[in-house]
Amino acid sequence: MCVLPAVALAAAALVGPLGAWQSPPRAAIQRRNSVFMVEPAKIVPMESLNPLPTLEVREVISSMMAALHRSNWDSPTPLYGFEVALRFLAPTHAAKMRGAKAGGFARYLQQPHKFSQINWNEYRFEGDVVYLTNDDGLEEAYQMCSMRASPEKDWMTARWKLVKVIGDYGSTVTPGQWMVEAVYSGEPDTPEDIDFLRQHTQDTVEDSLVVSPRAVVLDIMRALRDMDEPYPLHGAVVATRKCSPRNRASELSPQVFAKYLEDPWYSILVEWDELQEEEDDFMLDDYLKGQAEVEVLVRREEEDSLTMVSWDLSLYDGQWLVNSLNIIS
């Protein structure tokens, strides 16, 4: 696996007003055997650390990781690292939609199941960046990352989701740049997460806040049914990217995942001809629980009986992901 030196990745985001390269941030990052490590460096202000259209996916991740490192939490001013990290969040990130400031974002990331994202001393990229164009034509990118607080600690994994911003969202966002929409860590959202992310009190949750569990399931099923459209194994890419960290399928390559679907037990997912649509009755209570079950009825053309596919989903960083499914003939 070819990995660029992390010093270069951090420096790539540090373009001054005249386009001159500037020094890396305080948390200088070095590479050893494809592992990025923090080495103390002189204090360098991070004012110029900003997302740019020229930054690639891994460069955006490395820049945000540097901002969130504990040596930058309160330098040069309290919570400054979190303020810088907020610059790299997409307008569709749950924290940005909630209008989070540096203090709220810091509290959000200091919860036990998210703390590894800001308590790291080493991190490494796992596998290649996976690119995907969703049904709305928006470009998405996914990257697995492992991190740990010290060489004696266990590696913790997280999957980063980035989107390429295409609209005009103000002076801090330029159309065409990659920004972070979510970071899926090992545990689903807690009541504290959900309270932080919630911004509506109506009976239903607006689409602008979160895509419903049923919509996620239907996206997966339709993608699997047309597995190789618009490109080979596209359906498997969609399915694995919408699996939660608890689901081992999230770690599989599209090629391996597609092989699993050749098993007769799972083949209905790629062979169904009729899918019974039901009204999406997703309510605020479902969102507050952070857990959802979705049942979908499908049938092959030559069969008389319907098959039920039951999906279990949880909320991760404000987005519904699949924990498991059960097929009932």
Query: Residue 227: pLDDT above 80?
Result: yes
169 and 24 part of one domain: yes
pLDDT band for 178, please (50, 70, 90 cuts): very high
Decide which of 170, 186, 202 is a domain's last residue: 186
* 268 within 8 A of 300, measured Cβ to Cβ: yes
57 and 144 part of one domain: yes
DSSP characters for 84-143? HHHTTB-TTSHHHHTT--HHHHHHHHTSTTTGGGTS-SEEEEEEEEEEEE-TTS-EEEEE
Contacts of 41 (CB under 8 A, 6+ apart): 24, 26, 27, 28
229 and 265 part of one domain: yes
pLDDT at 259: 93
**CA angle (260, 58, 39) in 5-degree steps:** 120
Among the listed residues 142, 134, 143, 144, the one whose alpha carbon sits nearest the alpha carbon of residue 166: 134
Question: Could you list the residue range(s) of the whole structural domain that residue 128 is in?
Answer: 6-186
Q: Model-level pTM?
A: 0.79
Tell me the CATH number at 243.
Answer: 3.10.450
pLDDT band for 48, please (50, 70, 90 cuts): low
For the residues 163-185, what does the mean pLDDT come to? 79
22 and 63 part of one domain: yes
Q: Provide the number of structural domains found in the chain.
A: 2
Query: Residue 223: pLDDT above 70?
Result: yes
Residue 67 belongs to some domain of the structure: yes
For the residues 205-222, what does the mean pLDDT come to? 77
For the residues 250-279, what does the mean pLDDT come to? 91
40 and 158 part of one domain: yes
pLDDT at 42: 37
246 and 113 part of one domain: no
pLDDT band for 33, please (50, 70, 90 cuts): low
pLDDT at 54: 87
Query: Residue 286: pLDDT above 50?
Result: yes
Eight-state DSSP code of residue 250: G
94 and 171 part of one domain: yes
